[in-house]
Amino acid sequence: MAPARTTGSSITRALRVVEAVAAAGDGVTAKAIARRLGAPLPTVYRALGTLVEEGYLVRLHDVRGYGLGYRVAELHRGLTDQVRPPASVRAILHEVHTAADAAAYLAVLRDVDVVVAYVDDCAEHPRPDPMRVGEPTAPHAIAAGKVLLADMRPGRLAELVTRTGMPRLAPHTVADRRALDRELMRIRSDGAAVEVEEYQPGVAGVAAPVRGPGGEVTGALGVSVTRAEFADRRWELERVVRQAAARMGATGPRPE
């Protein structure tokens, strides 16, 4: 494995150490971190000492290595709280989940990232495996992401696609920019986006825009089901999603 990027900044080195521990899992040693980063061992020890003292890492004596600290969990909770929609929006998502027998989710634009703000699912109707609340999702591959892309100005769209790329995640992921542009044109015309094995194999879904008082797109409401279910229920799911997105627009998917 090639050494990770490094700079002379002590802050940057500390962040790289946290990333290395997260990637390696509990019990990674200072020597293993130094090898992974291509950094001097004394430098890694200094960063580890500070990170343990501040709570971002913990020293695990039973396995003689390091692990992520609980301050990292606090940061993640803070992020999910920032994107969490109001109770009225969460209630609509729960209604969609129940009425559609499908995992329901809300995606919003956060700067230049399409972020999953909330998911309402259950064991019988689970969310797609890659979907994480508070984290960016692959906008070119998931229905709600495509809804948000379709509303973007060309310059901002180009910036996002250039930065995130268009990786092929599933058998039918749209990984070509010209094909994506054609898909976004269709979404602007139809007012809804569809994905069929684009985000995860065996998974399909549909999403519709949530609009603010001025007609601007403030989020996208989507549902995910198996591909087989989608083939049988596509129009039913789309109707539920469109109606719920229209209702949600009266509230707006703004954080609490």
pLDDT tens readout for residues 141-197: 999 999 999 999 999 999 999 988 999 999 999 999 999 999 999 999 999 999 999
Angle at alpha carbon of residue 245, lines to 244 and 251, rounded to 5° = 95
Q: CA separation (Å) from 234 to 53, 62, 96, 256?
A: 53, 52, 14, 32
- Give residue 5's pLDDT: 47
Q: Over 90: is that where the pLDDT of 63 sits? A: no
Cα–Cα distance for residue pair 152/146, rounded to 1 Å: 10
Q: For residues 77 and 131, is the Cβ–Cβ distance under 8 A? A: no
Q: Please report which confidence band the pLDDT of residue 237 belongs to, taking 50, 70 and 90 as the band edges.
A: very high
Q: Over 90: is that where the pLDDT of 111 sits? A: no
Q: Over 70: is that where the pLDDT of 81 sits? A: yes
Q: What is the pLDDT of residues 196-224, one digit of tens each?
A: 999 999 999 999 999 998 889 999 999 99
Q: Over 70: is that where the pLDDT of 232 sits? A: yes
Is the model's pTM score more than 0.85?
no
Q: Over 60: is that where the pLDDT of 58 sits? A: yes
- Give residue 83's pLDDT: 84
Q: CA separation (Å) from 180 to 66, 143, 184, 185, 205?
A: 43, 12, 6, 9, 17
Question: Taking residues 237-248, what's their average pLDDT?
Answer: 96
- Give residue 255's pLDDT: 55
Q: Over 50: is that where the pLDDT of 6 sits? A: no
